[in-house]
Chains A and B, each alone.
Chain A
Amino acid sequence: MSDPLAVTLGPLTLNNPILTASGTFGYGLEFTDFVDLAAIGGLCTKGLSLKPHAGNAPPRICETPAGMLNAIGLQNVGVEAFVSEKLPKLRACGATVIANVWGDLEDDYVTVVRALEGADGIAAVELNISCPNVRQGGMLFGNSPPLTRALVAKVRAATRRPLIVKLSPNAPDLVESARAAREAGADILSLVNTFVGMAIAPETARPRISFGTGGLSGPAIRPLAVRMVYQVAKALPGVPLMGIGGIAELSDVLEFLAAGATAIQVGTANFKDPGVSGRLVKELTDYCAARKTTVAALVGRAHRGGGRVGGAAGAEG
Chain B
Amino acid sequence: MKADHRATLTRRQIFSPGLFSVTFDCPDLARAVLPGQFAMLEVPERAQPYLRRAYSVADADAGAGTVEFLIKTIGRGTRALERMPERSTVRLLGPMGNAFTVADLPRGARVAIVAGGIGAAPFPALLRGIAKAGLSADFFLGGRNAKELSIRARFDGLVPGETVLASDDGALGEKGFVTEALARRLGAGTRYARLYACGPMPMFAALAKVVGPARLPSEFSTEAEMGCGFGACLGCVIPGTEKPFIVSCSEGPILSPEKIQW
Choose among B52, B232, B244 the residue that contacts A31 (Cβ–Cβ < 8 A).
B232
B10 at the interface (CB under 8 A from A): no
Q: Which of B1-9, B115-123, B137-145, B173-181 contacts A (4 or more CB under 8 A)?
A: B1-9
B237 at the interface (CB under 8 A from A): yes
Q: Closest CB of chain A to B260's CB: distance in Å?
A: 12
Complex: A65 Cα to B245 Cα, angstroms: 28
* B46-61 Cβ-contact flags toward A at 8 Å (1 or 0): 0111111000000000
What B residues does A33 contact at CB under 8 A?
1-3
Q: Is the CB of A218 within 8 A of B50?
A: yes
Q: How many residues of B contact A (CB 8 A)?
A: 30
Closest to B232 in A: A26
What A residues does B224 contact at CB under 8 A?
58-59
Q: Is the CB of B50 within 8 A of A275?
A: no
Centre residue among B2, B49, B235, B244 by max chain A CB count within 10 A: B235
Q: Is the CB of A70 within 8 A of B235?
A: yes
* B144-160 Cβ-contact flags toward A at 8 Å (1 or 0): 00000000000000000
What B residues does A75 contact at CB under 8 A?
234, 237, 245
Contact A67-B50, Cβ < 8 Å, known A33-B2, A34-B2, A75-B245: yes
Binding site secondary structure of chain B: loop
Complex: A95 Cα to B207 Cα, angstroms: 45
Q: Is the CB of B244 within 8 A of A54?
A: yes
What A residues does B235 contact at CB under 8 A?
58-61, 70, 72
Q: Is the CB of A65 within 8 A of B50?
A: yes
Q: Is the CB of B228 within 8 A of A60?
A: no
Closest to B49 in A: A63
B85 at the interface (CB under 8 A from A): no
* A261-276 Cβ-contact flags toward B at 8 Å (1 or 0): 0000000001111110
Q: Is the CB of A66 within 8 A of B245?
A: no
Q: Closest CB of chain A to B5's CB: distance in Å?
A: 12
What B residues does A30 contact at CB under 8 A?
230-232, 250
Contact A70-B47, Cβ < 8 Å, known A33-B2, A272-B42, A274-B93: no
B233 at the interface (CB under 8 A from A): yes
Complex: A171 Cα to B42 Cα, angstroms: 35
Q: Is the CB of B48 within 8 A of A66?
A: yes
Complex: A75 Cα to B243 Cα, angstroms: 12
Q: Is the CB of A271 within 8 A of B233?
A: yes
Chain A, 249-299, CB within 8 A of any chain B CB? 270-275
B238 at the interface (CB under 8 A from A): yes
A219 at the interface (CB under 8 A from B): yes
What B residues does A60 contact at CB under 8 A?
234-237
What A residues does B238 contact at CB under 8 A?
58
A236 at the interface (CB under 8 A from B): no
Contact A34-B4, Cβ < 8 Å, known A54-B245, A58-B239, A218-B50: yes
B227 at the interface (CB under 8 A from A): yes
Q: Is the CB of B232 within 8 A of A272?
A: no
Q: Is the CB of A55 within 8 A of B245?
A: yes
B86 at the interface (CB under 8 A from A): no
Q: Which 9 A-B pairs have the closest CB atoms?
A: A61-B235, A54-B244, A271-B228, A26-B232, A33-B2, A66-B47, A30-B232, A271-B227, A60-B235
Known: A46-B234, A55-B244, A270-B228. 19 other contacts (CB 8 A): A26-B234, A31-B230, A31-B232, A34-B2, A34-B4, A54-B244, A58-B224, A58-B236, A60-B237, A62-B225, A63-B50, A63-B51, A66-B47, A68-B227, A75-B245, A218-B50, A272-B51, A272-B228, A275-B4
25 A–B contact pairs at CB < 8 A?
A24-B233, A30-B230, A33-B1, A34-B4, A55-B237, A55-B244, A57-B239, A58-B237, A60-B236, A61-B236, A63-B48, A64-B50, A65-B47, A65-B50, A70-B227, A72-B233, A72-B234, A72-B235, A75-B245, A218-B50, A271-B227, A271-B233, A272-B42, A272-B51, A272-B228
